Structure formats: structure tokens, C-alpha cells
Amino acid sequence: MAEPAKKSKAIRDVQSYLVGTNIEQAIRNNVCVRCKGPANVFNDAKSEKEFTITGYCQLCQDFVYDHIRGDR
């Protein structure tokens, strides 16, 4: 069970609103807020930490950040 990164209530409320689910609960349950799949296998510590911030599993992190960088 992952522990959500410390954020203000206002920030978490906005994040939860944007993804349509309680992001802190999803992180605690190791569920991706984007694809709703399991989020318990990560490539490295940096990706695991990113999950506690965004709630994205490894596959969703790769997809989103590859698109931001223009890799796909």
C-alpha cells in the first residue's frame, strides 16, 4: 500500500476532480487513477515516487510522459 505524497487539501481536491476519483484512496489501494489498473510494479524509485504524486501506474506514466516529450 503506497502512501500519497504530502499535498494541500486544495491541490488533492483539484486532482481528484480532474481524474474523477479520490486520488489519495487510489494511491493507497495501488490503483492507477488513469487506467484503473494495478499500480504495483515500477521501473525505478523515481517512477514509484511519481505514482505517489500523480496516481499514474508505470504504463500510464510512460504513455503520458512520452507524449509530452514527443517520443510517440
Task: Report pLDDT for 71.
Answer: 61
Residue 52 CA to residue 56 CA, distance in Å, equals 8
Task: Report pLDDT for 65.
Answer: 86
Identify residue 65 by its one-letter amino acid code: Y
Cell of 55: 496516481
* Ordered mean pLDDT values, 10 residues apiece, the chain (72 residues): 89 90 95 96 95 96 83 59
Task: Report pLDDT for 68.
Answer: 76
Dihedral of the alpha carbons of 18, 32, 43, 49, in degrees to the nearest 10: 60
Cell of 15: 486532482
φ/ψ of residue 42, rounded to 5: -130, 155
pTM score: 0.84
